Amino acid sequence: MSEYTLREQKLKRMKELRRRKVRRQKIFLGCTAGAILCVAAGIFVYSRSYTLDLKARILPETTVEKAVPLLGGNIEQALEQTTELAVKNSGTKVIAHRGYSSEAPENTLPAYELAAQSGAWGIEADIHRTADGAFVCMHDPTVDRMTDGTGVIAEMTLDEIQMLTIDSGSNSWAYPYAWVPTMEEFLEVCQQSGANAVLDLKFTSVEDIISLVQKIQELGMEDSVVCLSGSLEQLKKIRECSEIIRIKYLVEEGTQETIDQMAELTHSGIAASRISSDMVAYAKDKGISINVWTYNESWEKQEWTNQEIDFLTTDDLST
């Protein structure tokens, strides 16, 4: 059997596995949504029927804490979950670096899905462009480190890349069929979960920006996408194509110069590995948002939170 035939068979197998996974996800989401609606309806009917009776019989005799278990024991849990979600979406917002990369292989659908389930404000993905014009999610310019193949992404077609299997990264053994996802697959995860998509642009072409923005617009996701780039020209091109997509200048250190440069563009900010407290204050005066990366220790996160940084990128969403 020829090498070409083997590669074709592998590609078909990967696509069939993906279709099966999507079907399972849709069934699971449908069942989950149905269960939630049923529970919500039950709680509503129950509360309407017994609120007056509870007030008359329980509250005069006991405390609110003792009354909660009589309502099914879920009120405190629901309040706690709601509070946690509100905290994550206020103050310093958390961005999952390459997905939940400490629990699943970076830049894969499992990592993105786990990040979405964690309630992170945003999920970051690295974006390269293939030889045939597709956008794929991977940090390195080659597939060597993360897959069972070799090659430069910009010199490979999408089919060639998606025939490969992810065989490296956190708990890769648990995800034997993980592949290199397209940007559209990543954006769909964000769209379905309500998480913001943070695209770290790894390709250098300014003209490719037009195609990137068009794909974001086709999915109706302009208002939930943030683009990071170390190229001012790319950021300016994004702003030419869209007045809605948020943009951030990716730099090692936040300086007055970089802040001033982004102050000239709307819906903008800087994403810095380092920034002084003076520059934080300067950026706030200029109306520029600040994203720091990549911090995993709880004490580091607390220090940045105390400085009221807008966004914090991390590999570990558990601390």
CATH of the domain at 219: 3.20.20.190
Residue 50 lies in a domain: no
Residue 167 lies in a domain: yes
Q: How far separated are the first and last CA of the chain, in Å rounded?
A: 51
What per-residue confidence (pLDDT) applies to 262? Answer: 98
* pTM of the complete model: 0.74
Distance between CA atoms of residues 284 and 259, nearest Å: 10
Candidates 51, 85, 111; CA nearest to 194 is 85
Distance between CA atoms of residues 105 and 315, nearest Å: 11
Residue 138 lies in a domain: yes
Find all residues with CB under 8 Å of 147, minimum gap 6, and list them: 164, 165, 166, 167, 168, 180
Q: Are 154 and 130 in contact (CB under 8 A)?
A: yes
What per-residue confidence (pLDDT) applies to 18? Answer: 58
What per-residue confidence (pLDDT) applies to 8? Answer: 57
Provide the token pair at 219. 């999915």
Residue 73 lies in a domain: no
Provide the token pair at 28. 């699971």
CA distances, 69 to each of 27, 43, 101, 302 (Å): 32, 13, 38, 34
Residue 239 lies in a domain: yes
Candidates 264, 263, 315; CA nearest to 118 is 315
Distance between CA atoms of residues 152 and 137, nearest Å: 13
Please tell me the total count of domains within the chain: 1
Distance between CA atoms of residues 21 and 216, nearest Å: 24
Per DSSP, helices labelled H in 203-263 are 208-218, 232-241, 256-263
Q: Is 250 helix (H, G, I), strand (E, B) or coil?
A: strand
Beta strands, E only, the chain: 93-96, 122-129, 135-137, 196-201, 225-229, 246-254, 268-275, 289-292, 311-314
CA 65 to chain centre: 37
Residue type for 305, please? T
Residue 61 lies in a domain: no
Provide the token pair at 201. 């642009």
CA distances, 84 to each of 65, 80, 81, 195, 240 (Å): 20, 6, 5, 15, 37
DSSP state of 142: B
Q: Is 25 helix (H, G, I), strand (E, B) or coil?
A: helix
What is the torsion angle, in degrees rounded to the nearest 10, for the CA atoms of residue 273, residue 274, residue 278 and residue 279? -40
Residue type for 121, please? W
Residue 224 lies in a domain: yes
Cα 51–Cα 53–Cα 55 angle in degrees, nearest 5 = 70
User: What is the residue range of 157's domain?
Assistant: 3-26+91-314
Sign of the dihedral through C-alpha 255, 259, 262, 268: positive
Q: Are 256 and 237 in contact (CB under 8 A)?
A: no
Residue 65 lies in a domain: no
pLDDT along the chain (319 residues), means of 10: 53 58 54 54 44 35 34 51 52 97 98 97 98 98 98 98 97 97 98 98 97 97 98 98 98 98 97 97 97 97 96 94
